Structure 1
Amino acid sequence: MATKKTAKKAPAKRKLKPARRPDAKKPARKPAAKKRDLSRASPANRGRGAKPAKRFKAEKPDAVGTTRKPKKAAKVAPLGGRQRRALEAPEPSEAVAAAAQAAPQEEARPDPARDTAMVIAQAGLDKKANEVLLLDVRGLTSYADWFVLMTADSDRQAGAIADAIDEKLKAAGQSKVGSEGYSGGRWVLIDYGDVVAHVFSREARQFYDLEGLWADAPRFPVEG
């Protein structure tokens, strides 16, 4: 039997690229578009060609590594004239020291100012005042004989103590010469002439330190 010869397929012809002429110029390439720096643009404006956002000066980190804003200074009410006068303790001299030593020996005589100071101290104790202290400033200053110091736990309590003192002294027939510090509550001063009451917050009493300024004055703590 005759076999059919399978016809071989002719190989596909390759398309040859036309050879370039040696004198032909290469086509000019278009310049690549500049990439926009999107890291400096705000997220809402990225991709819109917006101007870079303004840079703000970074705050100095603390020890933990978190940034902290500077604290605003606390507002402190200015001192009144009577409060400033209480902070001006005179320098000890021979005459002042002699008067301070003689003052305790005269306690046997009637002292109306001391009685007023005790009424003030008791009014403070009735309103739960702490660390009630009497300072005998006779001979140390010319505008008072006694200071009564006490501590309040809050501004509201300081106002209540000052009101109670005023009510008790009014009932006893004495009126105040003046008062300062009611609005702040950190240091309420009530002047009764020979006796001056000082109602402090705990921080203000440590800060102004009348006990240290009037260290030469004999002191008498009063307990309820």
Structure 2
Amino acid sequence: MRKRAAKTSLQYSKTDLVINSIQDKKGEDIVVLNLENIPDTVSSRFIICQADSTTQVRAIANHVIDQIGEELGEVPYSKEGLAQCEWVLVDYIDVVVHIFIRDKRQFYQLEDLWHDAAIERIPNFN
């Protein structure tokens, strides 16, 4: 079980920063899919979470983008879905963040599509 990483840690990874950014905006049911051992994948990790409203989806996406920019100096390679905010994808090549409104996550079930990935479930941070 992953604990919230301290920002002062030298090992503060992009994955930890994304998770903390999601938790800052009360994103729920965070899952990290480790894709490193799956041949021909386009990314090392998918980080998936959900929100209760499109406003919250937008807030989470913007906070992730802002925090990665401030802390790591990176901008996303691609951003998709910010117009409707039902499923927002923020692509950093090595890490891809999927932020869903609750019913869209249940519909698309990305975790099931990538069932051969190592899955880490992050406890909700209340």
Larger strand proportion, structure 1 or 2?
A: 2
2:113 aligns with 213
CA RMSD of aligned residues (A): 1.3
In the alignment, residue 42 of structure 2 is paired with which amino acid?
Y
Return the match for 1:156 from 26, 47, 55.
Answer: 55
Paired residues, number: 111
2:32, 2:74 → 1: CA distance? 19
Given residue 61 of structure 2, which amino acid in structure 1 is its aligned partner?
A: A
Q: Is the 8 A contact 1:189 1:197 kept in 2?
A: yes
* Cα distance in 2, alignment partners of residues 210 and 142 from structure 1: 14
| Aligned amino acid, residue 132 of structure 1 | I
What is residue 86 of structure 1 aligned with on the other side? Answer: none
Unaligned runs of 5+ in 1: 1-113
C-alpha distance in 2 between matches for 1:121 and 1:170: 15
Deviation at 1:184?
1.1
Question: What's the offset of the Cα at 1:117?
Answer: 1.5
Q: CA deviation at 1:142?
A: 2.9
The reply on whether 1:115 has 2:16 as its aligned counterpart is: no
Give the TM-score of the pair, scaled to structure 1. 0.48
Greater relative contact order structure (CA < 8 Å, 6+ sep)? 2
Counterparts of 2:84 and 2:17, CA distance in 1 = 24
Q: Identity of paired residues, percent? A: 32
CA distance in 1, matches of 2:41, 2:116: 15
Q: TM-score, normalised by structure 2?
A: 0.84
Gaps of 5+ in 2: 1-11
Are residue 166 (structure 1) and residue 46 (structure 2) matched? Answer: no
- Aligned residue number for residue 137 of structure 1: 35
Query: Residue 5 of structure 2 corresponds to which residue in structure 1?
Result: none
Aligned-partner Cα distance in 2 for 1:196–1:122: 15
1:198, CA displacement in angstroms?
0.3
- Cα contact 1:181–1:189 (8 A) shared by 2: yes
Name the structure 2 match of 1:182.
Answer: 82
Give the whole-Å Cα distance in 1 for the aligned partners of 2:28 and 2:63.
15
Q: Is the 8 A contact 1:117 1:147 kept in 2?
A: no
* Post-superposition offset of 1:160: 0.3
